[in-house]
Amino acid sequence: MSARAATRVFEGIGVCGGVALGPLYVLRGPAEAGRVAGAPEEEAAALQAALAAASRDLEALIEAEDALAGDILEFQLALLDDDDVTAPVLEAIAEGVPAHLAWVRKMSEEIADYRAGGDTVLAARAEDLSDLRARVLRHLTGAGRPLGDAPDGAILVAEDLTPSAFLDIDWSRLGGAVTAGGSPTSHVAILARARGVSLVVGARLPLEALPAGGLAILDAAAGRLTVNPDRAARARAEQAAVAEAADRRSLVAVLHRSAKTADGRPIRVLANIDAPQLLETLSPEICDGIGLTRTEFLFASGSQPAEEEQIAFYRRLLDWAGGRPVTVRTLDAGGDKPLPGVTVDGESNPFLGLRGLRLSFARPELFRRQLRALARAAAEGPLKVMLPMVTAPAELTLARALLDEEIAKLLRAGIACARPPLGIMVEVPAAALMAADFEADFYSIGSNDLIQYTAACARDNPAVAALADPRSPAVLELVRRVVAAGSARGVEVSLCGEMASTPALVGTLLDCGLTMLSCAPAQIGPVKLAIAGYRGANDSGNTGSGIDDGE
């Protein structure tokens, strides 16, 4: 790399994080890496080595992950040791087919077989086979564990990242990531915010033209990647990194105190939990409970979780929270969260289709089982149940009737249970406009979908991301209406969407009258800091939000 290479700047949308200086690591698909095939004996040995390496990966992952992830991975591990799978591959290799081709052909055949015939549970396992196909292929092509060869502090550049690819990467070693695709409200963005990973999405990058290994500066707050920075830019980046470290220290100071505005108003700050692993690294002392538990991961394996398995997780949440309230959202699949075997394939517009509560009504057994598990867990602590994607009051009435029926059955069977408060997520404009008509025990505004549906901008389309403005008067008017409905009916209103995880928007939300925010765990500190700096609009001498930087 020439030191005099020209500086190039790429703009995208900053999701979260700060400034990082490090070498570029350009992620290319395993197929592109290619390999030169050897003689059949060498190819057979290469396959055996790749299978063994993949087994070791999976064993290590099973060790590190929770029991649920372990069950999913156990099946993959078992397939690696299945002669029915490996023998035909070795036969093809003996006939002269290169190892990687023989492997991919056999696995692709199996995947098609799993998907054929319309068995939804089997079709869901096809994802496991496809994951395994990629893992062994990575070893065959020498790519190894994803990013295992990336230098410490590297800045990852990729066309796009899937949530599973994101979770497979050890982010503690890396400086951050830039993707050409994606949007700030995608699931990868949510995962990044929860884990404090610096991420820029929607950057127009010529991936093939980027100098792999070349020095770059990622400014995630500004949404910018600078390739081949000059000496002055490097010095500025280093300074910014030092300043961020100082900011982190002031965050620690507010983190363990209850949040209060500069004019002394108490604000409750809760955590959004999307995976049980988050509980291990998060102290309940820094928040006022869990404002949103996403339960999709329970269903991610394609096999539907048993009641006991669900209760174990809900109980774990209550134990962790130690008496603080825990809000659990019922399964919210569909839209951009397909769930093999549960969601409906081939909808022309999945965001406007059978998703959230609508899907739960279409899968009553699944829904009833979750309600039963929640009612049983509610006997053990302050658990609340939240329904996603509610559009009309009749839906809440129906959900409440189902919950009542399940509770009655449990009582008849002599099983301990309690009636949890039943609230709704307000994310459909129809529900926001008429919030007071819902007999909800609480309201929680889901800003991501509320913005998407109000602005008619798909969350996964970067081309319309600019129009999906969280500060648009229309969105804020809907937020104010829900707050007003909550105070008229005397029930709690919180906001659990990404807006609450964005410190720059905290002032705007408090201006709307909100007193309860639920945010990504990594953002609790920054959000509390923003609250501490906020002075109400009615306060004399201040006309703004106090947080707005006015830029």
Partner 1 sequence: MKELEPAMQWVCDAAVIRDPTGLHARPAVKLTKLAKTFEAAVEIRADGRNDWTNAKSPNKVMKLKAAHGEPLHIRAAGCDAEAAVAALVALLHRDFVD
For the question of residue 496 being annotated catalytic, the response is yes
Bridge partners for 541 per DSSP: none
Cβ closest to partner 1, residue 125 vs residue 384: 125
Interface with partner 1 includes 303 (CB under 8 A)?
Answer: yes
Cβ closest to partner 1, residue 331 vs residue 425: 331
Instruction: Return phi, psi of residue 84, to 5°.
Output: -60, -30
Which residues ranging from 50 to 89 are in contact with partner 1 (CB under 8 A)?
Answer: 71-72, 74-75, 78-79, 82-85
Sole binder of partner 1 in the list 11, 91, 109, 113 (CB under 8 A): 113
Of 116-124, 246-254, 349-357, 429-437, which segment contacts partner 1 by CB under 8 A? 116-124
Cβ closest to partner 1, residue 107 vs residue 143: 107
The distance of closest approach from Cβ of residue 129 to partner 1 in the complex, given in angstroms and rounded to an integer, is: 9
Which residues ranging from 203 to 222 are in contact with partner 1 (CB under 8 A)?
Answer: none
The CA distance from 116 to 101, in Å, is 22
The distance of closest approach from Cβ of residue 111 to partner 1 in the complex, given in angstroms and rounded to an integer, is: 11
Q: Which residues contact 232 (CB under 8 A, 6 or more apart)?
A: none
Task: With CB under 8 A as the rule, give the number of residues binding partner 1.
Answer: 22
Cβ closest to partner 1, residue 253 vs residue 306: 306
**Looking at 100, 187, 512, 519, which residue is catalytic?**
187
**Looking at 16, 417, 457, 496, which residue is catalytic?**
496
The CA distance from 143 to 250, in Å, is 41
Contact string 329-358 vs partner 1 (x = CB under 8 A):
------------------------------
The CA distance from 459 to 383, in Å, is 30
How are strands ordered across the β-sheet holding 13-16? 8-11, 224-227, 215-219, 19-26, 155-158, 176-179, 199-201, 13-16
Sole binder of partner 1 in the list 121, 253, 411, 463 (CB under 8 A): 121
Residue 517 DSSP code: E
> Measured in Å, how far apart are the chain's first and last C-alpha atoms?
37
Question: Given phi > 0 = left and psi -120 to 50 = alpha, else beta, which region is 346?
Answer: left
Count of C-beta atoms within a 10 Å radius of residue 69: 19
What are the C-alpha distances in Å from 358 to residues 332, 362, 460?
9, 7, 21
Interface with partner 1 includes 103 (CB under 8 A)?
Answer: no
Which one-letter amino acid corresponds to residue 134? A
The distance of closest approach from Cβ of residue 303 to partner 1 in the complex, given in angstroms and rounded to an integer, is: 5
The distance of closest approach from Cβ of residue 85 to partner 1 in the complex, given in angstroms and rounded to an integer, is: 5
The CA distance from 424 to 420, in Å, is 13
Contact string 305-324 vs partner 1 (x = CB under 8 A):
-x------------------
Interface with partner 1 includes 125 (CB under 8 A)?
Answer: yes
For the question of residue 256 being annotated catalytic, the response is no
Cβ closest to partner 1, residue 83 vs residue 549: 83
Task: Give DSSP secondary structure letters for 486-506.
Answer: HHHHT-EEEE-SGGGG-HHHH
Cβ closest to partner 1, residue 296 vs residue 336: 296
Count of C-beta atoms within a 10 Å radius of residue 215: 19
238 Cα distance to chain centroid:
30
Q: Return residues touching partner 1 (CB under 8 A).
A: 71-72, 74-75, 78-79, 82-85, 110, 113-114, 119, 121-122, 125, 301-304, 306
Catalytic residues: 187, 496
